[in-house]
């Protein structure tokens, strides 16, 4: 048995990477099989220059991979490791450990001091591996869901709502609201107009029906919510589920019913499109305690994501 860890090669590894990823995550009921086209789109994203990929070859077959990210906008020398996966028949042969160690060595060589890595709790192997490598849990996130059978009425009569288009003016507005609403949140870094434009363009390319609404109180901008429907996810999971992607309320308007109005409007839209469930992700301990609002609106936790952290050896 010959195990080799090396950097990903865009000229020869694209098809092998996609096949490996789909096999590695085959037991995740929410994994949407990736395509070569998806990976090529990733290559063209504004974040591609920040991401490095490494692959594991076992007897010349690509059997695993991992990604790292060094966000140039961060000043705390913390990097990220994600997407660590090995195909089932190649597990317990040292590939995952070797990949993680290679990723950490690479990040340390780039001057990073810490590395953070998210793990789904339904993938216990990942939790055990990171623990063995000296990582410790530092933050918990929840995937929450709710039936759209009965959407509550909106009591926030003073909140004005409006759908946004994808004009440059609207994208600039979304960026401003996003950066102001999330400036105090965990792992915050400012979003640019280029990045927001790419995200919206990518949703269109992937045929996701997405919308964004803004809220005003007394004529002043108060918050926003992005939501939508991904036909590939519906086909993969076999149920009509919509998503609340990102909810942000500006600090002066929190606790005034703005978030509730935005969520109810989005749920009504999703229901009108035939969706029967809605899901979202939330940081369990974010500054706004948003998880409590979601619970009051009938959302319950479906699964957890844990972020692990480790200091890098230098």
Residue 282: predicted pLDDT: 97
Whether 144-304 and 3-134 are alike in CATH topology: the answer is: yes
Residue 123, C-beta contacts closer than 8 angstroms, at least 6 positions apart? 28
The CATH classification number of 3-134 equals 3.40.630.30
Q: How confident is the model at residue 29 (pLDDT cuts 50, 70, 90)?
A: confident
pLDDT single digits (tens) 83-129: 999 999 999 999 999 999 999 999 999 999 999 999 976 555 788 99
* Tokens linked to 205: 């390319």
Query: What pTM was computed for the model?
Result: 0.92
Count of C-beta atoms within a 10 Å radius of residue 274 = 11
Is residue 159 exposed (0-12), middle (13-18) or buried (19+ Cβ within 10 Å)? Answer: buried
The CATH classification number of 144-304 equals 3.40.630.30
Q: Are 282 and 291 in contact (CB under 8 A)?
A: yes
Q: What is the DSSP letter of 133?
A: T
d(CA 184, CA 194): 22
Q: Are 18 and 39 in contact (CB under 8 A)?
A: yes
Extents of the domains making up the chain: 3-134, 144-304
Query: H/E element holding 307?
Result: strand 300-311
Residue 8: predicted pLDDT: 98
Span 255-264, average pLDDT: 94
Q: How confident is the model at residue 158 (pLDDT cuts 50, 70, 90)?
A: confident
Among residues 34, 76, 68, which one has the least CA distance to residue 48? 68
Query: H/E element holding 234?
Result: helix 231-237
Residue 156: predicted pLDDT: 62
């Amino acid at each position: 048995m010959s195990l080799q860890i090396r950097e990903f090669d865009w000229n020869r590894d694209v098809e092998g990477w996609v096949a490996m990823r789909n096999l590695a995550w085959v037991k995740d009921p929410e994994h949407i099989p990736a395509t070569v086209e998806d990976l090529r789109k990733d290559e063209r994203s504004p974040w591609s220059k920040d991401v490095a990929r490494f692959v594991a070859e076992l007897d010349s077959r690509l059997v695993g991979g991992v990604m790292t990210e060094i966000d140039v906008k961060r000043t705390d020398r913390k990097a990220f490791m994600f997407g660590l996966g090995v195909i089932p028949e190649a597990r317990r042969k040292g590939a995952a450990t070797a990949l993680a160690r290679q990723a950490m060595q690479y990040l340390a060589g780039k001057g990073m001091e810490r590395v953070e890595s998210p793990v789904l709790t339904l993938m216990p192997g990942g939790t055990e591996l990171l623990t063995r490598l000296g990582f410790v849990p530092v933050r918990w996130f929840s995937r929450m869901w709710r039936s759209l059978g009965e959407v509550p009425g909106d009591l926030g009569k003073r909140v004005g709502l409006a759908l946004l288009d994808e004009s440059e003016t609207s994208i600039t507005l979304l960026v401003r609201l996003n950066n102001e609403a999330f400036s105090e949140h965990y792992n915050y870094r400012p979003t640019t107009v280029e990045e927001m434009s790419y995200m919206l363009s990518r949703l269109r390319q992937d045929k996701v029906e997405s919308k964004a609404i803004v809220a005003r109180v007394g004529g002043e901008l108060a918050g926003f919510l992005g939501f939508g429907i991904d036909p590939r996810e519906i086909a993969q999971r076999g149920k009509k589920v919509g998503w609340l992607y990102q909810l942000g309320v500006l600090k002066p308007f929190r606790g005034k019913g703005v978030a509730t109005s935005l969520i109810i409007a989005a749920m009504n839209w999703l229901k009108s499109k035939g969706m029967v469930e809605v899901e979202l992700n939330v940081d369990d301990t974010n500054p706004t305690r948003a998880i409590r609002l979601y619970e009051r609106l009938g959302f319950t936790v479906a699964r957890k994501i844990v972020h692990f952290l480790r200091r890098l050896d230098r």
